[in-house]
């Protein structure tokens, strides 16, 4: 039960209902700040805040000197967050555990070195683990880490903490890019995840940057039957 709407929220609600109900169509002009000031009897700063927030929500577009218009198509978009798998599992009230398959220092092949911003043959850390939710495998994690970004990475006890957690706390994140795709797991990963090699999987490939260094390159594979992303959009 909403008891009290702030002035800027009232302005937002006023405009939103006119857009979502179809009264104002994409491309139509939205009243100017001056007009809304008068209509609501509030100051311009307050109107301005309402409109700025509508811009970041993708409902309207503004051009200085020209005016405010209803955005062309309401984007179906939402914040997609990629989080530490351990947090995610525990937030569901379930038990998280890992099976550590590899902890090693290797020499980077040329393509890998390029992706990490290193010279071919440089030392890189390599870990492979399987994450379990209540004992059931849900993620296969294959990760390379740049020693310059996280020198003590291999000292972590990966049965207690995750690679992602170590990196997030030691090497503050400045950039990341990811790709989500569907794939088949391959024999080895299928075996570790206890699925058939013919079962479709979701794969996320992620590259993170911390300051001057590329910190990490990871490929996370999820069984298609046990994992999916869900999102919500609200006007």
Task: Decide which of DNA, a second copy, none touches 202; Cβ closer than 5 to 8 Å per partner kind.
Answer: a second copy
Angstrom distance (rounded) from CA 19 to CA 29: 11
CB of 118 to a second copy, least distance (A): 21
CB of 73 to a second copy, least distance (A): 5
* Nearest alpha carbon to residue 216 among 205, 226, 227: 205
Nearer to a second copy, 63 or 212 (CB): 212
The structure tokens 């492979």 sit at: 128
Task: Decide which of DNA, a second copy, none touches 93; Cβ closer than 5 to 8 Å per partner kind.
Answer: none
Task: Decide which of a second copy, DNA, none touches 65; Cβ closer than 5 to 8 Å per partner kind.
Answer: DNA
- Is beta strand 175-183 parallel, antiparallel or unpaired with respect to 96-107? unpaired
Interaction site with a second copy (CB under 8 A): 19-22, 25-26, 45, 56, 73-84, 87, 168-169, 171-184, 198-202, 206, 208, 210-211, 222, 224, 227-235
CA distances from 9 to 39, 48, 133 (A): 14, 11, 41
H runs (alpha helix) in 92-134: 110-116
**CB-based burial label for 75 (10 Å; 0-12, 13-18, 19+):** exposed
Angstrom distance (rounded) from CA 51 to CA 207: 35
Task: Decide which of DNA, a second copy, none touches 34; Cβ closer than 5 to 8 Å per partner kind.
Answer: DNA
Per-position x/- string for 21-60, each x denoting binding to DNA as judged by CB under 7 A, each - no binding: ---------x-xxxx-----xxxxxx-xx-xx--------
Task: Decide which of DNA, a second copy, none touches 77; Cβ closer than 5 to 8 Å per partner kind.
Answer: a second copy
């Amino acid at each position: 039960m909403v008891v009290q709407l702030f002035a800027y929220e009232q302005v937002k609600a006023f405009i939103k209902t006119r857009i979502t109900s179809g009264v104002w169509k994409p491309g139509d002009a939205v009243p100017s700040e001056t007009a809304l000031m008068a209509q609501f009897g509030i100051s311009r700063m307050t109107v301005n805040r309402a409109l700025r927030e509508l811009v970041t929500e993708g409902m309207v577009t503004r051009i200085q000197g020209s005016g405010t218009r209803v955005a062309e198509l309401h984007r179906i978009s939402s914040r997609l967050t990629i989080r530490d798998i351990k947090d995610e599992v525990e937030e569901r009230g379930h038990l998280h555990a890992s099976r550590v398959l590899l902890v090693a220092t290797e020499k980077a092949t040329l393509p890998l070195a390029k992706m990490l911003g290193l010279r071919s043959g440089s030392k890189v850390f390599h870990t492979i683990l399987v994450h379990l939710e209540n004992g059931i495998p849900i993620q296969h994690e294959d990760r390379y880490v740049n020693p310059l970004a996280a020198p003590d990475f291999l000292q972590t006890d990966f049965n207690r903490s995750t690679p992602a957690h170590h990196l997030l706390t030691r090497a503050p994140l400045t950039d990341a890019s990811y790709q989500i795709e569907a794939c088949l797991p391959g024999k080895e990963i299928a075996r570790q995840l206890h699925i058939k090699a013919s079962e479709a999987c979701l794969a996320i490939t992620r590259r993170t940057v911390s300051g001057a260094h590329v910190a990490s390159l990871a490929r996370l594979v999820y069984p298609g039957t046990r994992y999916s992303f869900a999102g919500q959009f609200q006007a």
